[in-house]
């Protein structure tokens, strides 16, 4: 019967057992602060190109819905505030 021991070492994927050097940051470690900043900016631009922007009609519809919702909430809060004011006036005279 074979014994199971805890001493079996499995190397990380992509690394050999001879390669015991600490891993660096790859390409980012070779660049200075301005190079990293430029890389960050290029990544931002690349992500913004993936965004599906709304059309003018969709944007105006969304804006109208938000404005109407805000007005409704303002009205609701006003009515509740007026009601609490009247209750406090009645209770405390």
C-alpha distance across the termini of the chain, in Å: 92
CA distances, 22 to each of 8, 18, 19 (Å): 21, 12, 9
Average pLDDT over residues 59-88: 98
How many separate domains does the chain show? 1
Token pair 């019967």 is found at: 1
pLDDT at 29 over 70: no
Q: What is the mean pLDDT of residues 33-47?
A: 93
| pLDDT value for 20 | 63
- Tens-place pLDDT, residues 45-60: 999 999 999 999 999 9
Domain that holds residue 70: 53-92
Average pLDDT, the chain: 84
Distance CA 79, CA 72 (A): 11
Rounded percentage of the chain residues whose pLDDT exceeds 70: 68
* Residue 75 resides in a domain: yes
Burial 7-18 (b: 16+ CB within 10 A, else e): eeeeeeeeeeee
User: Is 2 a domain residue?
Assistant: no
pTM, 2 dp? 0.50
Residue 23 lies in a domain: no
Residue 5 lies in a domain: no
């Amino acid at each position: 019967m074979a014994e199971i021991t805890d001493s079996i070492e499995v190397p990380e994927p992509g690394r050999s057992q001879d390669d015991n050097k600490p891993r660096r940051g790859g390409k980012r470690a070779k660049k200075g602060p301005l190079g990293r900043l430029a890389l960050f900016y290029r990544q931002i631009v690349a992500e913004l190109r993936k965004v599906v922007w709304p059309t003018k009609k969709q944007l105006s519809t969304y804006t109208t819905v938000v404005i109407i919702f805000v007005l409704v909430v303002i009205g609701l809060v006003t009515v509740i505030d007026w009601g609490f004011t009247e209750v406090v006036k009645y209770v405390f005279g």
